[in-house]
Chains A and B, each alone.
Chain A
Amino acid sequence: MTATSEAAAPRTFAAHAHPLWRRLLVTREASIIGLLLAVIAVAMATVPNFDSPLTVTYLLREIAPILLIALPMTLIIITAEIDLSVASVLGLASVVTGLGVQAGWPVPVAMVVAIGVGALAGAINGALVTVVGLPSLAVTIGTLALFRGIAVGLLGTTAISDFPDAWTDLARTNITGTPVPVIIIAFAVLALVFAVLLHFTPFGRSLYAIGLNKEAAAFSGINVGLSKFWLFVMSGTVAGFAGVYFTLLYNNARGDNAIGMELQIIAAVLLGGVSIFGGRGALHGVIAGVLLIGTLASALRLAGVTSDIINVLTGLLLVLSVVSASFLNWFHQRRVAALGRRRGRSPGTSS
């Protein structure tokens, strides 16, 4: 693009425009992690009981479903799609677990069936989006109602709450010697799998390509439809697993379990630096985003702030995070244009 008269001697370029420390520290993800650390530091200094093991246990127990589902949700949003039905799949899996145990199945069988139902629900979303070719926003608003409706329809207003103690205890035990619940082990394993999948495999890298430009990705040999289909299946499966965990943790299978959680999950993912337009985002930012919202809520609750103020803060954080990103982008473009003018070039169309 820049038609500068190239000298005969080959020019050497630095591998990157900025040094390594800058590329690592001056990012969306780093700022969210920094904010998280700041919140933890301030809370530990000022909020009584925030650093007690019990707080940590309850915090992690409570946000574990959001942490789990945020993983596949990140991948889906990176491909510029969305899955609003996850909380309904969670509710459906919870009801299936309950019905299975009530029918006298062994708990592991009920769990596997529930996770299978989650995978099936995800496959239905995936097929509607990729095979029929419908926008995922509309499809998953529909299946949000559909799956929730099936869950509520199957169980009505009754709740099943007689699960074997061995299993409900498992959902509540901590790793010996720490205040960390065991579900975090499952989360850590899944997080590792998803991080490797997204950041270190051709499949994961192709998701960014799909999110940036679907047509270009298809022409470069990526099977766009199939990739998206599997993402929705993963999302359904993980939501099913979260449903089983939710049921055992609260010893309660109800049709309206985790109602409205989809928006909490999406808010956390977007706060973690994933672009709703697709093609941008990283898993460590998302995990920090979920932890930030959870920690902030937990600290404020301990400090006696009511949940409505926490809601306002969650919303403000989300709006501020996207508006600030947009503002920084605008500022950066202005600077690049000014730099270009000073060097006597036309302002580049660098995006």
Chain B
Amino acid sequence: MTTTTTAPAHPVLAGLGRLVRARETGIAIAIVAVVALATVLNPSFVFSNDGFRDLLLTPSLLMVVAIGQAIVIITRNVDLSVGSVVGLTAYLTGSLFADVPGLPIVVVFVAGIALGAVLGLINGALVAFAKVPALVITLGTMYIYRGINVAWTGSDRINASDLPAAFRELGTGTVLGIPFLFLLAVLVLVYAAWHLRNLRSGRELYAIGSDPSAAQLYGLRVTRRVLAAFVVSGSAAGLAGVLYAARYGTVSSNAGFGWELEAIGAAVIGGVAIFGGVGTVWGAALGAFLLLTINRALPIIGVDDFWQRAVVGVLIIGAIVLDRIAAQRQHRRLVAQREETR
């Protein structure tokens, strides 16, 4: 056998190669294709004031939730309570404005994120200290948080007239033609991606997700990191709740209902492995973007929008099958490499 010694590629070229093969690129191409197809069929999908704004605005909230979800999934856990957290914080936002007139908007943002963080802390503490699987705990807290939300809200509803105009302006306003909420989501995304890639507290999440007991033996503070991941996920859902109130104006007791599965679906589509250790928040955010963009594009492409969920299901299954094939191929390549070097 001729041992093909791979010449050290130029770093820029190697980086380019990685970029082309990355999962995130595939998702981005899919998004571009969907948007292009919808635009060809109906130019106002992008080329109208509202079209472009809605294209970016619709996925913004789910992107924020999916980023938090991805961080939890990377540690080999899952957070089913995010939808309920979104609902609770959205209602908190509305009732703060309604009950305390003249409250600065910043205070409401801080309050929403703080409530999300506390709810995430409860999840994280139960998971990390009681050593109970996250699926069970967050299934329970999903019911509890939603129940508290409904008990608090009752048949009451926050209406747009309860919210100050400046706050609602945030939800629909644009900066240089780009919606403010989308900018905020991208800001969260860029910071989270940088943190996970470059900081120790980020890298350790991957180590914990790949092999929790090895991470423990290695001396990583698993409990603290898992706790932090849940707090981050809760805070992200809390932020999304505040943004929900800004975006939609009306908040009833079923705000954010079912978002937990959409967020997990977005992360899975984006290449975050459900058993932890693999994936990026870029992938999760792009997955969320793709999910909601497809939903909006389907009626234009001529598919009845009742079929949305079926398409989402096919996407999720396609994504995990793809991951599986890639993993097997890599496994075979590594085995072949080991045989050669022997």
Contacts and interface: CB of A to CB of B under 8 A. Distances in A.
Interface size class of B (residues with CB under 8 A): 35 or more
Interface string A233-269: 0000000000000000000000100001001001100
Contacts of A147: 313
Nearest to B307: A153
A68 to B, nearest CB: 20
5 contacts: A128-B317, A142-B315, A146-B309, A148-B313, A307-B150
Contacts of A27: none
A135 B147 contact: no
B137 to A, nearest CB: 6
A315 B309 contact: no
Contact of B132 (A146, A267, A326): A326
A121 to B, nearest CB: 11
Interface string A289-328: 0000000000000000011111111111111001100110
Given A318-B139, A322-B132, A145 B304 contact: no
Contacts of B264: 141
A92 to B, nearest CB: 10
A150 interface: yes
A134 interface: yes
Contacts of A139: 317, 320
Which 8 A-B pairs rank lowest in CB-CB distance, beginning with the nearest?
A146-B313, A149-B310, A315-B143, A149-B309, A311-B147, A308-B150, A312-B147, A142-B316
Interface core residue of B136, B141, B264 (most chain A CB under 10 Å):
B136
Nearest to B321: A132
B271 to A, nearest CB: 12
B274 interface: yes
A2 to B, nearest CB: 26
Contacts of B268: 138, 141-142
B310 A150 contact: yes
A143 B321 CA distance: 13
Nearest to A319: B140
A255 B150 CA distance: 25
Given A135-B274, A144-B261, A277-B133, A152 B306 contact: yes
A311 B145 CA distance: 9
Contacts of A312: 143-144, 147-148, 151
A134 B321 contact: yes
Interface string B310-325: 1111111100110010
Interface string B133-160: 1011101111111111111000000000
Given A135-B274, A153-B306, A322 B316 contact: no
Contacts of B147: 308-315
Contacts of A255: 306
B172 interface: no
A137 interface: yes
B262 to A, nearest CB: 9
Nearest to A138: B274
B130 A327 contact: yes
B265 interface: yes
Q: Which label, helix, strand, loop or mixed, suits the secondary structure of the B interface? A: helix
Contacts of A149: 306-313
Contacts of B145: 315
Contacts of B315: 142
A276 interface: yes
A323 B126 contact: yes
A270 interface: yes
Given A311-B143, A312-B144, A326-B132, A143 B324 contact: no
A147 to B, nearest CB: 7
Nearest to B269: A142
Interface of A: 82, 128, 132-135, 137-139, 141-150, 152-153, 155-157, 255, 260, 263, 266-267, 270, 276-277, 306-319, 322-323, 326-327
Given A156-B304, A312-B148, A322-B132, A144 B137 contact: no
B200 interface: no
Interface of B: 78, 80, 126, 130-133, 135-137, 139-151, 253, 258, 261, 264-265, 268, 274-275, 304, 306-317, 320-321, 324
B316 A138 contact: yes
A340 B140 CA distance: 36
Interface core residue of B146, B258, B308, B316 (most chain A CB under 10 Å):
B316
A132 B313 CA distance: 17
A252 B253 CA distance: 26
B151 A308 contact: yes
A134 B143 contact: no
Interface core residue of B130, B135, B142 (most chain A CB under 10 Å):
B130
A138 B274 CA distance: 6
Nearest to A255: B306
A147 B312 CA distance: 10
Given A142-B265, A149-B310, A312-B144, 5 more contacts: A145-B316, A147-B313, A276-B135, A308-B146, A322-B132
A260 B265 CA distance: 16
A290 to B, nearest CB: 15
Interface core residue of B149, B304, B307 (most chain A CB under 10 Å):
B307
Contacts of B321: 128, 132, 134
A266 B304 contact: no
A10 B303 CA distance: 77
B274 A137 contact: yes
Contacts of B311: 149
A146 B321 CA distance: 15
A122 to B, nearest CB: 15
Interface core residue of A146, A255, A317, A319 (most chain B CB under 10 Å):
A319
A138 B136 contact: no
Nearest to B264: A141
A141 B140 contact: no
A134 B77 CA distance: 17
Contacts of B320: 134-135, 138-139, 142
B269 to A, nearest CB: 9
